[in-house]
Structure 1
Amino acid sequence: MVLLNVVASKLQYEPLTVRLGAVVSGVDLRETLDQEIIDQLSDALVKYKVLFFRDQNITRAQHLAFARRFGELEIHPLTQHKEGFKTQDIDPEIMVVESTAKTPITADHWHSDVTWRKDPSLGSILRCIVSPRVGGDTLWADMEAAYEGLDAETKAEIEGLTAMHDWKPFRQSMYGKPGTEQLIKDLKAKYPPSEHPIVRTHPVSGRKAIYVNDPFTTNITGKTREESRELLTRLYRTASVPDYQVRFRWAPGSIAFWDNRSTQHYAVGDFFPEHRLMERVTIAGDRPF
């Protein structure tokens, strides 16, 4: 395949908010891109935190090839056992997220992906194949801005604290299904709870971000869930501040590439029983500090 010798300066970024989110134009993701383009997109990802692309009618192979330019790909260890995340007959690195009238599904809670892993993902590239006629938007929250917005007393309170993260929501969807008892036991042994700082430092920018989320964070290290609840609830709620958010309307061929280290996201479940079909490829990350 011939490299597309696109000059990096031809890339254009249209910010959607002052804080985060930009629509990228001047690039065709069907092509093999020059390293200069990849480097500029990597820098833009750290700056804007979520990059959006329109009218990119790429194949699964092209989706995987583009994602691999940013690092090793991650295979989600649990979604193959969760209803609605289909993996049959496709590359294991591709997560198919499909919602229909019979099997409605969405991630309608603020979260950062797989924080229960020791090395949570760097980011994900989500491609829209079928969008509902109305609704089905996704929102992202800037958790660096959320940290900056904390009062000095709260910043001092959480400095140096860590929290435990667990994949309990996935286990709950598996309980009661035939043949899952041993599987759950094996997965619990392979993926025990992980401990991460409540305030994460971005490995590239050095900026600080709130790094706890309601679905996966269980408690502050050394405290019970009850003892942790008040402080964690305050921190969870920061993702819900509209000033820190960007909202994206999907259409077939739309792509979102987000930095999982500095954002949380929320898939709005306002489109049932409409059909929504997405495919996601995730880039492996490193241990938070």
Structure 2
Amino acid sequence: MIEFKPMTRNIGAEVVGIDLRKPLAEEEVHTIRQGWLKHLVLFFRDQPIDDEEHAQFALRFGTLNIPAFNKDQNSPIHRLDQVDPKGEGGDEWHSDNTFEPEPPMGSLLRCLQLPSVGGDTMFANTYLAYETLSPPIQRLCDELTAIHDITNSMKKAISKGHKYDLAEMQAKWPPYERPVVRIHPETGRKALFVNRASTTRLVGLSDRENEALLPYLIDHIRSPEFQVRLRWQPGTLAFWDNRSTQHYAIADYTERRIMHRVTIAAFDEHKG
């Protein structure tokens, strides 16, 4: 029997009573999805699955998305093999790939190898980030849109030695305008949808207004009451809702850390 053990009051739960190496019944998929919508990020411990099983599990929840950063555009597996990740972009609060016209619905990250200490990941509830703003600021944000751009992320990756053609990536993924407040297509709840990795400016505001408001909104997600911290173990898989969370990979290690990630394409209301 599947059970959810909350890790904090506001976000995160460990899932017990499931073996991801085995095919899931429709009822089990439904139960996991409802728990995921409630807790926003789910943690599955002691799951010694391979890449194929990882991808097959993700497919039970939607179509797979191949991220812009994937070196192999024929594989849904994004391999993160890092020793010195500080400054690469994961160590700032973000939602995955919000520069895409249709950002991924969710991500499933699996731990293969860890440093002797460090390498935790933090997750934050962006529903609460919106709901704890004062009503006047909520009303302002409800009317605003923001530009999301791949450029900052690419520059950081290139500066760390990754081989990307900046102009080519900018042409493939031009800046995209989207609402500052996102309405979740399944729950109907509002979530704050700006992040430090990709959001570059608020549309229609002056430079001075942007300098005041955008950093405030981005930093607001840092409130500890919105957050949960995951200490990884090999065989741990985290499954988060990209529409209602942000995450932060803590770059406090200098030993090898290997993670594999699969992302799920934008929610299709006709299939969901």
TM-score (norm 2): 0.91
The residue type equivalent to 1:211 in the other structure is: F
Correspondence for 2:265:
284
**Cα contact 1:130–1:277 (8 A) shared by 2:** yes
Bigger mean CA offset, 159-168 vs 97-106: 97-106
Correspondence for 1:205:
187
The residue type equivalent to 1:52 in the other structure is: F
What SS class does the counterpart of residue 252 from structure 2 fall into? coil
Segments of structure 1 that go 5 or more residues without pairing to the other structure are 1-9, 81-86
Q: For 1:97-176, list aligned pairs within 5 A.
A: 97-100=80-83, 107-172=90-155, 173-174=157-158
Provide, for residues 229-278 of structure 1, a one-character-per-residue CA deviation record: whole Å limited to 9, x for no partner.
2111111112110000000000000010000000000000112x222110
Aligned pairs, number: 267
**Cα contact 1:99–1:106 (8 A) shared by 2:** no
Structure 1 residues 155 and 170: alpha-carbon distance in aligned structure 2, compared to 1, 3 A threshold: closer
Rg larger for: 1
Correspondence for 1:239:
221
What SS class does the counterpart of residue 159 from structure 1 fall into? helix
Structure 1 residues 179 and 73: alpha-carbon distance in aligned structure 2, compared to 1, 3 A threshold: closer
Provide, for residues 117-151 of structure 1, a one-character-per-residue CA deviation record: whole Å limited to 9, x for no partner.
11000010000001122111100000101111111
**Cα contact 1:119–1:286 (8 A) shared by 2:** no
**Cα contact 2:151–2:166 (8 A) shared by 1:** no
Q: How far 1:227 moved relative to its partner? A: 3.4
What SS class does the counterpart of residue 188 from structure 1 fall into? helix
The residue type equivalent to 2:58 in the other structure is: A
Segments of structure 2 that go 5 or more residues without pairing to the other structure are none
1:16 counterpart (7, 10, 13):
7
Correspondence for 2:241:
259
Equivalent-residue separation in structure 2 for 1:217 and 1:263 (angstroms): 15
Over the matched positions of the two proteins, sequence identity in percent amounts to: 41
Structure 1 residues 184 and 229: alpha-carbon distance in aligned structure 2, compared to 1, 3 A threshold: same
Structure 1 residues 102 and 163: alpha-carbon distance in aligned structure 2, compared to 1, 3 A threshold: closer
Equivalent-residue separation in structure 1 for 2:90 and 2:170 (angstroms): 22
The residue type equivalent to 2:17 in the other structure is: G
TM-score (norm 1): 0.86
1:249 counterpart (223, 231, 250):
231
Provide, for residues 182-216 of structure 1, a one-character-per-residue CA deviation record: whole Å limited to 9, x for no partner.
x4333322211111110101100001010000110
Q: How far 1:96 moved relative to its partner? A: 0.6
1:76 counterpart (67, 79, 82):
67
Bigger mean CA offset, 155-164 vs 138-147: 155-164
Equivalent-residue separation in structure 1 for 2:60 and 2:80 (angstroms): 23
Provide, for residues 58-88 of structure 1, a one-character-per-residue CA deviation record: whole Å limited to 9, x for no partner.
01110011011111101112342xxxxxx5x
Structure 1 residues 196 and 130: alpha-carbon distance in aligned structure 2, compared to 1, 3 A threshold: same
2:75 counterpart (89, 92, 102):
92
What SS class does the counterpart of residue 49 from structure 2 fall into? coil
What SS class does the counterpart of residue 43 from structure 1 fall into? helix
